[in-house]
Amino acid sequence: MMKQKGSSFNRSFDYFQKIIRDSGPVAAASYGLIGAVILFILLGYFLDRWLGTAPWLMIVGLLIGLGTGFYELSKIMWKK
């Protein structure tokens, strides 16, 4: 089955590729937000266990992770 150049399948496939291509930076920013939060919470958790200060450093890690993640997210969103 040969595909014609202007067929509706080709147009819809091209449109789908454009949507995926345009959503790439936003997906990366969301993974960055989740990664920063998880990383800093775990860092705070292990520091709390080591220093015996539970749960304070984990809470600080959560706040730092959220701040860092939202900063990276805002850089991506305001770039557009």
Q: In a structure prediction context, what are the per-residue pLDDT tens digits for the chain, which is 80 residues long?
A: 455 566 888 888 888 899 988 888 888 888 989 999 999 999 999 999 999 998 999 999 999 999 998 998 888 888 76
Within-domain flag for 16: no
Q: Provide the pLDDT for residue 6.
A: 65
Within-domain flag for 40: no
Within-domain flag for 73: yes
Within-domain flag for 71: yes
Within-domain flag for 25: no
Instruction: Say how many domains are in the chain.
Output: 1
Q: Provide the pLDDT for residue 80.
A: 62
Within-domain flag for 55: yes
Per the structure, the complete domain to which residue 67 belongs is given by 46-80
- Predicted structure pTM score: 0.72
Within-domain flag for 2: no
Q: Are 33 and 72 in contact (CB under 8 A)?
A: yes
